Amino acid sequence: MAGAIGALGPQGLAGALGPQGAAGLAGAIGALGPQGLAGLAGALGAAGLTGPAGPTGPIGPAGGVLGFADFFALMPPDNSVTVAPGTDVSFPQDGPVSGTAITRINASSFDLAEIGTYQVLFQVNANEAGQLILTLNGSDLSYTVVGRATGTSQIVGTALVQTTVIHSVLTVRNPAGNSTALTITPLAGGTRPDSAHLVIMKIA
């Protein structure tokens, strides 16, 4: 008969490491990490092509003098009759003229053909103290009155006149209501005929 099993012997040494087993299945994807810092700005791109030119703007108003005329009288022989109150000084002779905006109607009336602004200068020698005024379409332009209280020097006036209708009529007048008729001085200061002038310039 077999004898009784003996006592358990001591554990033997570990065997050699076996070969690596096959890789396990991939684990699940982890959670999304935080957003990283912004990268550096890229280089500036090249300039684009120039766009087409815009349309031409409207033509601006013309500058300077747009027309002028000089009308004058020589004493003698002109203005041989005194200029009574309410009547106009005559400038029957033509000096330099530019354009067609300013023309003569008769010896003492002048046509401002275009609506606009006119600079007017007049000078007249008279024997008496008195006044002169510009009229437009028969109405006194009260802001243009000039006069002389004493002496026999020139009566000189200058003003801007604005017209609101075409072919307005301008005159230089001894104002109605004054008591003195004006004698336009002949040969003032010497032996030569003395001149009186009405110069009109269209400026706008």
Residue 120 exposed, middle or buried by CB count within 10 Å (0-12, 13-18, 19+): buried
In residues, how long is the chain?
204
pTM of the model: 0.70
Is the Cβ–Cβ distance between 113 and 197 less than 8 Å? no
The third-level CATH classification (topology) of the domain covering 67-202 is Jelly Rolls (2.60.120)
pLDDT digits (tens, 9 = 90+) for 41-72: 888 888 888 989 989 988 877 678 999 999 99
For the chain, which residues score pLDDT lower than 50?
Answer: none
Residues β-bridged to residue 161: 118
Q: What are the sequence ranges of the domains in the chain? A: 67-202
Identify which of 175, 154, 169 has the alpha carbon closest to the alpha carbon of residue 88.
175
Q: Which residues contact 68 (CB under 8 A, 6 or more apart)?
A: 96, 97, 98, 99, 102, 199, 200, 201, 202
pLDDT for 62: 65
- The whole-angstrom distance between residue 143's C-alpha and the CA centroid of its chain comes to 26
Q: Dihedral (C-alpha) 167, 105, 94, 133: value to the nearest 10 degrees?
A: -80
Question: Cα separation of 196 and 72, whole Å?
Answer: 5
Strands (E) across the chain are located at: 67-75, 93-98, 102-104, 110-112, 117-125, 130-136, 139-140, 146-148, 154-162, 168-173, 194-202
